[in-house]
Amino acid sequence: MRRLWGRRLWGRRLLGALALLGLAACSTLNPTAPQLYTLTPRAAVGPGPRADWQLLVETPAAAAGIDTPRIALARTPTSLDYFADVSWADRAPNMVQGLIVQTFEDSGRIVSVGRDTVGLRSDYVLKSELRDFQAEYANPGAALPDRVHVRLSAKLVAMPRRSIEAGETFEATAPVRGRSFTDVVAAFDEALGRVTGDLAGWALSQRLKPAGS
């Protein structure tokens, strides 16, 4: 009788342990999802002649601290942190690549533009490096960041000879005009819109020719 009771007690303890393991596994596999954000900047490109060459846009290179869906935050020029419980809908370089393509398309001033992943041939490739893409504090002790900083270095590379035809760096800061996180996102929109608009205007002003012409 004692042996049977002992077996039952051991069985209950085993079931309890398995249940705890199951709960731990569920909490590991289903963490609280961050709130996702995307950007929709209004990039202005001035009027001008239509480019008769085709362009592919590569995903910008970026340091590991920026090459992530996490939304970067810098209290000092030598530190990098991230906002809690929020995230971009994609890695920052992928998101910026798509918005560069959109800016060229919306300008109506180029024959064809697309991501390099589509595998099409082009006359030129836009290579770039995303060097800054973070909210910043002018005062490290402040409760909230006061601006967003975006900096992108770009090169136009002729295909198929892969020669660099032109290069430039584009940079913008935008103030955070409120105390909510949506105000930070709006500042990212403003700064990135200025950078992509300046980038597209610069590229379209280059005196480039289609390959073979």
Residue-wise pLDDT for 188-207, tens only, equals: 999 999 999 999 999 999 99
- Write out the two tokens for 124: 């030129």
**Alpha carbon distance 88, 70 (integer Å):** 6
Residue 182's nearest CA partner among 142, 131, 148, 207 is: 148
Tokens 């030598």 appear where? 78
What pLDDT is stored for residue 37 in this prediction? 98
Residue of higher predicted confidence among 1 and 125: 125
Average pLDDT for 74-87: 94
Residue type, 194: R
Tokens 């060459």 appear where? 53
How deeply is 28 buried, as exposed, middle or buried, from its count of CB atoms within 10 A (0-12, 13-18, 19+)? exposed
Q: Do 167 and 71 meet the contact criterion of CB atoms below 8 Å apart?
A: no
Residue 31: pLDDT band (50, 70, 90) is: low
